[in-house]
A and B are shown apart, each in its own frame.
Chain A
């Protein structure tokens, strides 16, 4: 039974990717680019040298962290669209903490800065969770609005109170904070590249999220609240409380992603630091089937897409924004694919078609004959 489900789910994911690729190919043709050349650049370009690979991983770290948070919130029945704002609040909190305590040793400062980032994001997510739990404010509305507020706070602080005094002196006025103290930096893994220990942190986080959701009573409660709020309530689970906890955690992971970007990559808060990780993280999580085991490869895949898109801009003269089109199409394809997943009739037809096509998949399986 489970094997069939995996085969079916895998087939749908592959089909979804193909459909998305085909649709984007049409767009590429429309702007006069060659789809094949573009896809070749996107998919093989980033992996052709060590630098490319490390850059892919640098991108996938925040995507993975955000995606984990999204998975927690979606699994708990709350649609968190606010990761972008939560990242920015994490960036600000981490930066402020690091700048306020420049003399602490690394052993204290780095954990503190990461924690502050997570806390900043958690508060921002928690607001939406609290509004939903106590006042029944739709979380999609509140998180989107909180994104705007966070963006404005971010801009205001980086152009005002947190602006690097050097920028004022030299008069260049680039909106960015002072450089953080070295003691707050994440170490490099591969010397000479930007790849930092945030990767390890993110992988450990993925493991922890898996343990949390599937091995602990807290995760059980959250999944029950998400998958069947009514039944959970009847079973004595205070659903509202777990909505808030889920949003605190989801925001915390997004905030952590922000802190990791600051301490691992940019070493200061800059404008546009998140570059859309908050939204891409939703796609990463959905593409990874809201499971850490799927989100890890999915975050790498989207890391490849991001770097590949940059490369196509240079080599194939295709605007890097095409990757946004691709993301959008993938979301649409996933959502349609999921409704397809739920249709037993479609399942039956697909399985029989597959059984005819690839009988070895179903060896030792009874019940399905072509």
Chain B
């Protein structure tokens, strides 16, 4: 499986790829050499993933050539790309959860398949070699389901390297990682870059800045910019990426003085495995403020959001919303009480993907007087509503009859936000509202949230993007192991301070040992 010769240069020339109605790649010319990191930047739908699928042989280009070390190649399947030393780590991991790391590798390595016998030991040995050489600690005998997302990411990297890749394509590798895991990954990639070539796909410009040597920006399928990363500021790159100046809005006020809207008292909720995921959580939201809930994912955020939406039974405690206890109410009762909700998984929780945009815009109100009469849907009103919201929330779709699932993540999120805000809620719970969304849509969503805040809506923002939490919040509550560890005014929050709190250490505790590569083990925080 190892390549004939180490890959020293990959060159794309004039790659064009057309899909029905869309020019996904428009004459793209790129090159990347050994020892360098090329960042490929662009908004969702700019053609990054299509381009990478072309390199990996999943799609064939309509025109243009790919050459490796100066020799023109034609890949018909990912195996061909691997044979020339090109490997890809997909955004969504391609690992079998109930197999060990070594077994996962063995699946793809034909050398290990002997007659009637699979050489798992050989796979483990190979993993150890690679993980030592590239300083990517991985335990070959661990089951995938036991690993954190960050560790799974390392497994993917090791797997790709074991398969012989020396040019790595990383498709938004940090999208599922916590801030600490992200920093750790970037550091490791920097060290690995000297021996490899890396194409780093991202739209997080601070990461691009930290890691890459050169940057290419794609917009609408074409390369609009090539340059050395060091010479350009993130804001400049952002403007090139979106085609206009991007300044993420900030919360300049210091709210938190409004009347109390929602108070959560001693909330206890069980997680999927029966554990107490929320163990006495206290929180108070006031009108006209954004309350950020920061934390490493898996500390009870999901259960908290579910309990607020009425989708998870509350074992004990109260959710007092305008004086009424919502604990264990049905989702419908909670919706009717004036709570808005932007769920974590927009594709499956926020929308019905096969429904049209206009039908998704009435998902909570189809039975209201506005949209139905005698239980018949009022199509005219539904159409009118959709056109109006499409305009107001800048939802970019061919028409409001388009299936919502076919839109980009940013536009899906706009559909959800439009629906929730148009209902005129008194409080809004937004869970990871901009995860994996491009800058333009992010800017829009942030300014929408801040505008609602000015109108007096109380907003709970659950996020692990520290930038986002610090930019938007009036106060920040740090969640750790099912409780709020501390609530601090946003003006007093710094990245470092939040990072320490998110690791479970209160301010008085000493900071974690310097240079600790990833999040301290959860147990370290006890006493």
Residues of B within 8 A of A238 (CB): 330, 332
Mostly, the A contact residues are helix
* Residues 363-390 (chain B) with a chain A CB within 8 angstroms: 363-364, 366-367, 372, 375-377, 379
The residue on A at minimum CB distance from B375 is: A217
Q: Is the CB of A234 within 8 A of B311?
A: yes
* Distance between B316 CB and nearest chain A CB, rounded to angstroms: 23
> Which residue, of A217, A227, A235, has the highest number of chain B Cβ atoms within 10 A?
A235
Set B334, B353, B376, B402: member contacting A228, Cβ < 8 A: B353
Q: Is the CB of A367 within 8 A of B22?
A: yes
Q: Is the CB of A234 within 8 A of B375?
A: no
Set B59, B348, B377: member contacting A230, Cβ < 8 A: B348
Is A224 positioned at the interface, with any CB of B under 8 Å from its CB?
yes
Given A227-B354, A228-B355, A367-B20: 17 more A-B contacts, CB < 8 Å: A4-B20, A215-B376, A215-B379, A217-B367, A220-B377, A223-B352, A224-B352, A228-B352, A230-B349, A236-B332, A236-B364, A347-B20, A348-B18, A348-B20, A367-B21, A368-B20, A368-B21
23 contacts across the A-B interface (CB closer than 8 A): A4-B21, A215-B379, A217-B377, A220-B359, A220-B366, A220-B377, A224-B352, A224-B355, A227-B353, A228-B351, A228-B354, A231-B350, A233-B311, A234-B309, A234-B349, A236-B332, A236-B336, A344-B19, A347-B20, A367-B20, A367-B21, A367-B22, A368-B20
Q: How far is the CA of A344 from the CA of B379 in the complex (A)?
A: 30
B residues neighboring A (CB under 8 Å) = 18-22, 59, 309, 311, 330-332, 334-336, 341, 343, 345, 348-355, 359, 363-364, 366-367, 372, 375-377, 379, 398-399, 401-402
* Residues 218-272 (chain A) with a chain B CB within 8 angstroms: 218, 220-221, 223-224, 227-228, 230-238
Residues of B within 8 A of A218 (CB): 375
* Distance between A191 CB and nearest chain B CB, rounded to angstroms: 40
Q: Is the CB of B343 within 8 A of A234?
A: yes
Set A215, A216, A232, A348: member contacting B352, Cβ < 8 A: A232
Residues of A within 8 A of B364 (CB): 235-236
Is A48 positioned at the interface, with any CB of B under 8 Å from its CB?
no
Is A351 positioned at the interface, with any CB of B under 8 Å from its CB?
yes
Set B21, B330, B334, B363: member contacting A231, Cβ < 8 A: B363
Is A357 positioned at the interface, with any CB of B under 8 Å from its CB?
no
Q: How far is the CA of A288 from the CA of B343 in the complex (A)?
A: 35
Q: Is the CB of B21 within 8 A of A217?
A: no
Considering the complex of A and B, which 3 residue pairs feature the smallest CB-CB distances, nearest first? A228-B352, A236-B332, A367-B21
Residues of A within 8 A of B398 (CB): 1
* Distance between A78 CB and nearest chain B CB, rounded to angstroms: 16
Is A360 positioned at the interface, with any CB of B under 8 Å from its CB?
no
Q: Is the CB of B348 within 8 A of A228?
A: yes
The residue on A at minimum CB distance from B362 is: A220
Q: How far is the CA of A312 from the CA of B311 in the complex (A)?
A: 57
* Distance between A159 CB and nearest chain B CB, rounded to angstroms: 45
* Distance between A358 CB and nearest chain B CB, rounded to angstroms: 15
Q: Is the CB of A1 within 8 A of B350?
A: no
A2-B401, A217-B367, A367-B20 known; A227+B355 contact, CB < 8 A: yes
Q: How far is the CA of A236 from the CA of B376 in the complex (A)?
A: 19
A232-B352, A233-B331 known; A351+B311 contact, CB < 8 A: no
Q: Is the CB of A216 within 8 A of B330?
A: no
Q: How far is the CA of A123 from the CA of B246 in the complex (A)?
A: 60
* Distance between A347 CB and nearest chain B CB, rounded to angstroms: 7
Q: How far is the CA of A103 from the CA of B343 in the complex (A)?
A: 61
Q: Is the CB of B332 within 8 A of A227?
A: no
Q: How far is the CA of A368 from the CA of B20 in the complex (A)?
A: 6
The residue on A at minimum CB distance from B23 is: A367
How many of A's residues come within 8 Å of B, CB to CB? 30
* Distance between B427 CB and nearest chain A CB, rounded to angstroms: 16
A1-B21, A238-B330 known; A217+B348 contact, CB < 8 A: no
Q: How far is the CA of A366 from the CA of B398 in the complex (A)?
A: 14
Q: Is the CB of A236 within 8 A of B351?
A: no
Q: How far is the CA of A43 from the CA of B446 in the complex (A)?
A: 62
Q: How far is the CA of A1 from the CA of B334 in the complex (A)?
A: 38
The residue on A at minimum CB distance from B379 is: A215
A1-B21, A217-B372, A217-B375 known; A235+B59 contact, CB < 8 A: no
Q: How far is the CA of A4 from the CA of B19 in the complex (A)?
A: 13
The residue on B at minimum CB distance from A232 is: B352
Residues of B within 8 A of A344 (CB): 19
Q: Is the CB of A234 within 8 A of B330?
A: no
Q: Is the CB of A227 within 8 A of B375?
A: no
Q: Is the CB of B331 within 8 A of A235?
A: yes
The residue on B at minimum CB distance from A225 is: B352
Residues of B within 8 A of A366 (CB): 21
* Distance between A71 CB and nearest chain B CB, rounded to angstroms: 15
Q: Is the CB of A234 within 8 A of B20?
A: no
Q: Is the CB of A1 within 8 A of B354?
A: no
Q: Is the CB of A215 within 8 A of B377?
A: yes
Q: Is the CB of A234 within 8 A of B341?
A: yes
A217-B372, A220-B366, A234-B331 known; A351+B20 contact, CB < 8 A: yes
Q: Is the CB of B376 within 8 A of A216?
A: yes
Q: Is the CB of A227 within 8 A of B377?
A: no
Q: How far is the CA of A232 from the CA of B362 in the complex (A)?
A: 11
Residues of A within 8 A of B353 (CB): 227-228
> Which residue, of A217, A218, A345, A366, has the highest number of chain B Cβ atoms within 10 A?
A217
Q: How far is the CA of A238 from the CA of B379 in the complex (A)?
A: 23
The residue on A at minimum CB distance from B350 is: A231
Q: How far is the CA of A230 from the CA of B341 in the complex (A)?
A: 14
Set B335, B363, B375: member contacting A216, Cβ < 8 A: B375
Q: Is the CB of B402 within 8 A of A1?
A: yes
The residue on A at minimum CB distance from B419 is: A235
Q: How far is the CA of A2 from the CA of B309 in the complex (A)?
A: 36
Q: Is the CB of B363 within 8 A of A235?
A: yes
> Which residue, of A215, A236, A345, A368, has the highest number of chain B Cβ atoms within 10 A?
A236
Q: How far is the CA of A227 from the CA of B405 in the complex (A)?
A: 11
Q: How far is the CA of A344 from the CA of B406 in the complex (A)?
A: 11
Residues of A within 8 A of B334 (CB): 236
Q: How far is the CA of A292 from the CA of B278 in the complex (A)?
A: 48
Residues of B within 8 A of A230 (CB): 345, 348-349
Residues of A within 8 A of B375 (CB): 216-218
* Distance between A262 CB and nearest chain B CB, rounded to angstroms: 33
Q: How far is the CA of A67 from the CA of B348 in the complex (A)?
A: 28
Q: How far is the CA of A235 from the CA of B335 in the complex (A)?
A: 8
> Which residue, of A2, A4, A220, A366, has the highest number of chain B Cβ atoms within 10 A?
A220
Q: Is the CB of A234 within 8 A of B350?
A: yes
Residues of B within 8 A of A221 (CB): 366
* Distance between A294 CB and nearest chain B CB, rounded to angstroms: 17
Q: How far is the CA of A220 from the CA of B398 in the complex (A)?
A: 23
Residues of B within 8 A of A347 (CB): 20
A1-B399, A216-B377, A220-B366 known; A231+B335 contact, CB < 8 A: no
Residues of A within 8 A of B348 (CB): 228, 230-231
Q: How far is the CA of A345 from the CA of B17 in the complex (A)?
A: 11
Q: How far is the CA of A42 from the CA of B376 in the complex (A)?
A: 43
Q: How far is the CA of A237 from the CA of B359 in the complex (A)?
A: 14
Q: How far is the CA of A368 from the CA of B309 in the complex (A)?
A: 45
* Distance between B351 CB and nearest chain A CB, rounded to angstroms: 6
Q: How far is the CA of A202 from the CA of B211 in the complex (A)?
A: 66
> Which residue, of B19, B364, B402, has the highest number of chain A Cβ atoms within 10 A?
B19
Q: How far is the CA of A47 from the CA of B388 in the complex (A)?
A: 52
* Distance between A263 CB and nearest chain B CB, rounded to angstroms: 31
The residue on A at minimum CB distance from B21 is: A367
* Distance between B115 CB and nearest chain A CB, rounded to angstroms: 33
> Which residue, of A2, A218, A348, A366, has the highest number of chain B Cβ atoms within 10 A?
A348
Residues of B within 8 A of A2 (CB): 401
Set A216, A224, A231, A348: member contacting B349, Cβ < 8 A: A231
A325-363 vs B, Cβ < 8 Å mask (1 yes, 0 no): 000000000000000000011011001000000000000
Residues of B within 8 A of A228 (CB): 348, 351-355
Q: How far is the CA of A4 from the CA of B364 in the complex (A)?
A: 31
> Which residue, of A220, A231, A348, has the highest number of chain B Cβ atoms within 10 A?
A231
